[in-house]
Structure 1
Amino acid sequence: MASAHPHEIDVAFEGNHELRKRVHAAIDQNSKQSTLFRDISTYILNQTSQTTTEPVSKKRKLEDSNGTQNSAAAPSSLTSSATKAWRQYPGVSFSIPQRKKFTLELVDRKDGGIRAVGADGSVEFAVAWRDVDQVFCLPVPEKAKRQHNFIVLPVHGDGVNPVPDHLKTSPPEPIVWTFEEATGKNIVEGEDPGPGPMAEAIHHCLLQAGTNKTVVFPEAAQFESAIPQSHRKGEKAYHVKGHRGSKEGYLFFTSVGIVWGFKKPLAFFDFASVTSVSYTNILRNTFNLVLTTQTGDVEFGMIDQTDYSGINDYVQKHGLQDESMAAARRAQKLNVNPEKKEENGENGAAAQVPNDGLTELERAQQELEDLEDEEEEDYDPGSEGESEGSGSDSEDEDGEGYEGGEGEEYEEGYEEGEGEEMDGHEE
């Protein structure tokens, strides 16, 4: 005689009639299985309950930010699970816009794109190829195993340039996932264990979609760090460690611009967005890099002095201290005529760079020395024995020569490496 079927089973499997019949048949053959299937059904119902309450709020929060904003802008053919992918990469670890493993899929068609697919086959987030601004493949620093982060930046998702009004409440977010190189037994003979094949597949799709984009890798010709990598001797590093506020991250100086990653908020400074570059808080071992953009200054602190030369060469190579060049680049990007600056105008004068053959760091140090020389010229040893009134006049003169009259104390602190700061000078 068939045993009674627990109510939980009927509720849990009501969406799959055939599976429910199989569960009933299994219980009928062995009544001892009833408890097991009831527990399984209870677990399924609890999971369903959670996904309709707490995860829904999390999903809604993601939609309100950027995750599904990318999907919403993508064509329905891309967000539909019925559209077959050209390439699939299961078990990929994403960090933005969600920190979770998904199947990465590339849809190879003009209205296709890149998307992350969940275990249930639904598209979690996506970006159409037509909406891709840049794709980067950057090594993850300080890892024992070689890892690379792929970054897909959608248009208006660089975190730097002004966002159109209709996207200000939910600008599109980048998509970031990690590729870990195969090692040991996982290496397939004849196959590249690195990120090359995945990058080539993405490049193929970008070409198929009619874009002129490619996957950008770091290059030694653009920048390479002068700091040896202790965890991987003899290997080049293409990053600079720094801080944006209290958050630690890495700067990459690429052929198309400067990338800050890998935690939120990720930022990409293309050459057209950088109005000028300056160096501040110059100490014996570190300095700060300030990138001036249309929306304000962005400062990256505690950068090792060892990498100053390479960074400054990069800045000079791409003319990032020339405001007029930045305007011309923006105009070219927007396909409009660049603004003409008056040679003797106020803005033009501010954008001029002294043609003295010095780097900005050397120029800052030279100005400090000039201030100290000025202080020595103003100093009159005979004034020490004069009246109080004369002493006051001397102090006033010193105050005009340098701010606060602290030049001697400042010089002493800097020479002894006590962490005193020199003012940077923006070009």
Structure 2
Amino acid sequence: MSEIFLDNVPRELREKVLNITNANPSTLGIFEELYNYAKNNPENRKKSRSDILGSEVAEESIIFQLKDVSVLTPFRKKLNLVFSISPTTGRPTLSLSKDMAPQLTLTELGRSIKFATFLPFPEKTNVIYLFISYSGPGQDPSVREVLLLTLNKDATLLQLKNSGLLASGLDDFAHCVEYIRKQAILVGFRISDPFSAANAGPRPFYVEAHRGTKEGTLYFLPDHVIFGFKKPILMFSSQEIESITYSSITRLTFNVTLTTKDGEKFEFSMIDQNEYTLIDDYVKRKQVIDNSMSEENKAKTAHKDMNSAEQSSLLAEAAQQIEDEGNINDIPLESDDEEADNDFEADSNASDGSDTGSNSDDDNQDEEDEEDEGVEEDIEDEEDGGDLYNEEQHNAQLPNDGQDSWGGGVALGDQFNGGNVNDNQFGLHNSLDNAFGGSDFNPLAHDASLTVEKNVIDDEEDSGVEYD
């Protein structure tokens, strides 16, 4: 005999079988026969499942029935909710059936159903939840399953009136809730209705919240807290809550962390600030400890404050550095090389870019005479046609009605010197213009010079400086 069949058995079961076969090797064959029998007879497994669900519901055994109820959990179907008497045990059962064939059956309702309640549907006023927490057949009683149904108020009211269970003149759904609750008591369990207007005492409430990335509704009931209804659905007794912590508080939202007596933590985020008072009053009535100002949370807050202080210090240091280095408008944009700037300014007086270090006095004198004549002619030409030239060139270079990239047509002089253009700046333009031609340098330099050109020409005549 071989142990190969054990490879197809769950690990925990395989270990138990091996413990037995190691102590008594002769039992290995028995386990293998049992495995092969179960594997080759699927009808036995199908029959056992049918026994768990229960036999077909007999019409005469039905105590109460709601047809075409929308089931959301544990599966999504439209089924009939049926209270009936089991033909085998003679005890009441709750089943979800289709065509009288049960899809889910609960027995021993007084013990298996731990909690049941009606809950409002936040987005739809014409729909109500029926929430049932239970322990399945043969399961550990501490393990809870959830049965979640939705009832359409108008359809349910009409169905009960047509079946003669309610008087035809009743139009309030509260009569349906009352009737269903009485039927549940007859079969052994109770359904609460905490949001009923007839209830005295503090009102239950619900808030919209997130758990991780899942959006849902957080219900604060008299004795329970429920978050749903995307799986996994959370439910725990309010008596199990040991402490609450508020965190990530902003102008609009805040987070809540509920810690149970077993040490489990459930954080719910993005809760509207307007709901704070309701939650705070609820936990105070339950005498829940507020751990928001505990030493652990203070340490977290202090750490955040330290980081904020460090960031503020870095910002202040950067601001002081800028202040020490001078106005940001004084920073040269063209080059960071100081030697290159000095050499360029010295050379800018040359008319044709020739070497200023030449020792020929005659050549220099001849060039200066020619430059004086050229400058005078240029000034006269610009005074006659300067306005037309400036307007045409300026419109050609500035798109969108003159709104250039420097901010709505602001002149270069305004950006750097508050509108006061010095001689070196004007000399720089003329040098570029003569050396490369009026259209060879980039549009930004051209636009900037055109804005200040006419104002400076008037000052040239009295400046006593020779321009190139």
TM-score normalised by structure 2 residue count? 0.45
Normalized per residue, the structure richer in helix is 2
Larger Rg: 2
TM-score normalised by structure 1 residue count? 0.49
Higher relative contact order (CA 8 A, sep 6+): 1
